[in-house]
């Protein structure tokens, strides 16, 4: 992932759309704290993931392998 800047509005349902290998799963793993970025930072609710919190409160993710 390079040069990502995204904001999600609270209380809404969002989806990520992109080609295979474009980084959708990687982005979600970073946001949820499963993977730490090599540079930059992930901020959720004003807290830096991996520094202020290990993973964001009240966030979940299901990652499935392709069928």
Burial class of 1 by CB neighbour count within 10 A (0 to 12, 13 to 18, 19+): middle
Query: Assign residue 20 a region: left if phi > 0, alpha if psi is -120 to 50, beta otherwise?
Result: beta
- Alpha carbons 3 and 10: distance in angstroms, whole number: 23
* pLDDT tens track for 14-63: 888 999 999 999 999 999 899 988 999 999 889 999 899 988 888 878 88
Which pLDDT value is given to residue 19? 94
pLDDT at 2 > cutoff 70: yes
- Alpha carbons 46 and 51: distance in angstroms, whole number: 12
Q: Tell me the sheet residues that pair with 47.
A: 44
pTM exceeds 0.85 = no
């Amino acid at each position: 992932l390079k040069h990502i800047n995204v904001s999600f509005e609270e209380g809404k349902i969002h989806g990520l759309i992109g080609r295979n290998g474009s980084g959708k799963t990687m982005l979600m793993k970073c946001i949820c704290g499963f993977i730490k970025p090599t540079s930059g930072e992930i901020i959720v609710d004003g807290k830096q993931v991996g520094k202020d919190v290990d993973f964001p409160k009240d966030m979940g993710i299901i990652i499935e392998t392709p069928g």
